[in-house]
A and B are shown apart, each in its own frame.
Chain A
Amino acid sequence: MKKYSILSLARNALNFHQDWGKAWRSPEPKKTYDVVIIGGGGHGLATAYYLAKEHGITNVAVIEKGWIGGGNTGRNTTIIRSNYLWDESARIYEKSLQLYEGLSQDLNYNIMLSQRGVLNLAHNLHDIRELKRRVNAIKLNGIDSEFLTPEQIKEIVPIINVSQNIRYPVLGASIQRRGGVARHDAVAWGYARAADARGVDIIQQCEVTGIIRDHGRVTGVQTTRGVINAPKVGIVTAGHTSILAAMADIRLPINSYPLQAMVTEPVKPILNSVVMSNAVHCYISQSDKGELVLGAGIDAYNSYTQRGSLHIVEEQLAAVCLLFPIFSRLRILRKWGGIVDTTPDASPIISKTLVDGLYINGGWGTGGFKGTPGSGWVFAHTIARDEPHKLNAPFNLDRFTNGSLIDEHGAAAVAH
């Protein structure tokens, strides 16, 4: 891997940037690997990277049906935070945030992490009590969190409407100042480049059509480019987790729904934090290009169509205009949908399965992007050691049988 630096930039400027090498190879798949990762999104690429970096397992293939980062990694609203209520979630999301904080250096790739603060608004007395409880619970886990009054919110977000005469007045907020946004594509590309440099094969436009098993053990995968053998296979296919698991006759507690997001036309810098509201239901930030990035709730019905219904968009834009009347004349540039795999407790499944050598990482619902580095880190450990790390042990598949659910519907910030 050629290191990116100010020197390499200057050197390449001399010949008008004609000779930049490819960031990763596109190799033909080998017959056999030590580990096959199904799914070349952020989580899958991070898993491959940490398998190579932390566990010395470099004979790894990442198999991607389309192009890397083209699924939910390229479709989310790029928000990063770790303000979760329960201890189990706090630990894994905080691990993820800490990895994010050093990721640009670690990968030698600028992921454009911007820790501009994430605000969660309260609109009624119950919201305030609930937010204060959360702020205290989060602090007890050693994670930064504060409660803000409407006046303090106004200092941070001058354009927000804190009038007490609107239907859902802003009465307070919690803030995690270390939260923020990052460039989502860069996270996928950075992990891909760094994993490739350590010997991982990234195989795009290759769809897995079957999972081959022998006496309860996984032995490889069938793909559109032939059979690839591997004693260990990880399924990291957000949006299609149930489909892949069904190939190995595994039933999951997952339902898949479309989640829509959109951006406005670009404007000059006007919003320097991430604002989320569960009650009127929207989340909003401004990208470096100047577009406002908006998201809200999932559509009501199971679907794999990567598009949703218009009334969902309408409700969300009404919420944005309520909080930010100044945005009411902005035009929407584009909107899209991604498929989110939701679990009954709004927490992910990062787990071994009943099939030896087959591992599942999915069910991140609407909040997978923030979990990307931590998810890859613990999943690599789970695959390499054939046992979960203590950070992901609570997120096993057995919890739906023994009842130890991790109910994070409140922190998920997207109702589902």
Chain B
Amino acid sequence: MLLINCPWCGERNEPEFHHGGEAHIERPKNPDALSDEEWAEYLFMRTNPKGVFLERWVHQSGCRRWFNLARNTSTNKIIGSYKIGEKPPKGTR
């Protein structure tokens, strides 16, 4: 079980959280102008790396706020959490 550091509440057990997938996927600024390929890229294509992964979580049973987490998917080691709008920890991007 992961021990996740919510930037607002501190360390809590994983079942309090809900995973929100890959972070930093930008919503299209002009959706009407998007081609099918660009829609597919935005909606479906994912990096799915083996190694450092920047992902979103929501503290569902706590403060109910979203934040980002840098975690290594080959070890599950958590590198650090950061608030939405903040920069990821050094060396993770």
Report which A residues bind B (CB closer than 8 A).
240, 242-243, 251-256, 300-305, 309-311, 344, 400-403
* Neighbouring A residues of B55 by C-beta, 8 Å: 301-302
Chain B residues touching A, majority SS: mixed
Q: Lowest 5 A-B CB distances belong to which pairs?
A: A253-B44, A242-B48, A300-B19, A401-B40, A309-B1
- Bound Cα distance from A385 to B73, whole angstroms: 37
Contacting residues of chain B (28-65) with chain A, CB-CB under 8 angstroms = 36-37, 39-41, 43-50, 53, 55
- Bound Cα distance from A402 to B53, whole angstroms: 28
Contacting residues of chain B (1-32) with chain A, CB-CB under 8 angstroms = 1-2, 14-15, 17-19, 21-22
* Neighbouring B residues of A305 by C-beta, 8 Å: 73-76
Is B83 positioned at the interface, with any CB of A under 8 Å from its CB?
Answer: no
What is the distance, in angstroms, from B50's C-beta to the closest C-beta of chain A?
A: 5
Chain A residues touching B, majority SS: loop
Report which B residues bind A (CB closer than 8 A).
1-2, 14-15, 17-19, 21-22, 36-37, 39-41, 43-50, 53, 55, 71, 73-76
- Contacts A251-B41, A305-B76, A401-B36; A300 near B18 (Cβ below 8 A): yes
Q: Is the CB of B14 within 8 A of A309?
A: yes
* Neighbouring A residues of B37 by C-beta, 8 Å: 401
Q: Is the CB of B44 within 8 A of A344?
A: yes
- Bound Cα distance from A309 to B15, whole angstroms: 9
What is the distance, in angstroms, from B6's C-beta to the closest C-beta of chain A?
A: 15
- Bound Cα distance from A45 to B74, whole angstroms: 26
- Bound Cα distance from A344 to B39, whole angstroms: 14
Q: Is the CB of A252 within 8 A of B2?
A: no
Q: Is the CB of B71 within 8 A of A301?
A: yes
* Neighbouring B residues of A251 by C-beta, 8 Å: 41, 45-47
- Bound Cα distance from A252 to B75, whole angstroms: 22
Q: Is the CB of A255 within 8 A of B21?
A: yes
The residue that A252 contacts in the complex, of B17, B19, B48, B49, with Cβ under 8 A, is B48
The residue that A254 contacts in the complex, of B18, B19, B46, with Cβ under 8 A, is B46
Q: Is the CB of A253 within 8 A of B45?
A: yes
Q: Which residue of B lies closest to A402 (CB)?
A: B36
- Bound Cα distance from A252 to B15, whole angstroms: 29
Q: Is the CB of B19 within 8 A of A301?
A: yes
* Neighbouring B residues of A242 by C-beta, 8 Å: 46-49
* Neighbouring A residues of B36 by C-beta, 8 Å: 401-403
Q: Is the CB of A302 within 8 A of B53?
A: yes
The residue that B15 contacts in the complex, of A253, A304, A311, A403, with Cβ under 8 A, is A311
- Contacts A242-B48, A251-B41, A254-B48; A303 near B21 (Cβ below 8 A): no
Q: Is the CB of A304 within 8 A of B44?
A: no
What is the distance, in angstroms, from A156's C-beta to the closest C-beta of chain B?
A: 35
What is the distance, in angstroms, from B14's C-beta to the closest C-beta of chain A?
A: 6
Q: Which residue of B lies closest to A309 (CB)?
A: B1
* Neighbouring A residues of B1 by C-beta, 8 Å: 309-311
Q: Is the CB of A311 within 8 A of B14?
A: yes
Q: Identify 23 residue pairs between A and B in the complex whose beta-carbon atoms are under 8 Å apart, listed by A's number.
A: A242-B47, A242-B48, A242-B49, A243-B48, A251-B47, A300-B18, A302-B21, A302-B48, A302-B53, A302-B73, A304-B73, A305-B73, A305-B74, A305-B75, A305-B76, A309-B1, A309-B2, A309-B14, A311-B1, A344-B43, A400-B40, A400-B45, A401-B40
- Bound Cα distance from A274 to B1, whole angstroms: 29
* Neighbouring A residues of B75 by C-beta, 8 Å: 305
* Neighbouring B residues of A303 by C-beta, 8 Å: 73, 76
Q: Which residue of A lies closest to B38 (CB)?
A: A401
Of A242, A243, A301, A401, chain B has the most CB atoms within 10 Å of the CB of A301
The residue that A304 contacts in the complex, of B21, B43, B50, with Cβ under 8 A, is B50
Q: Is the CB of A300 within 8 A of B50?
A: no
Q: Which residue of B lies closest to A302 (CB)?
A: B73
- Bound Cα distance from A301 to B19, whole angstroms: 6
Given contacts A255-B46, A305-B75, 8 further A-B contacts (CB under 8 A): A240-B50, A254-B48, A255-B48, A301-B55, A302-B55, A344-B43, A401-B40, A402-B36
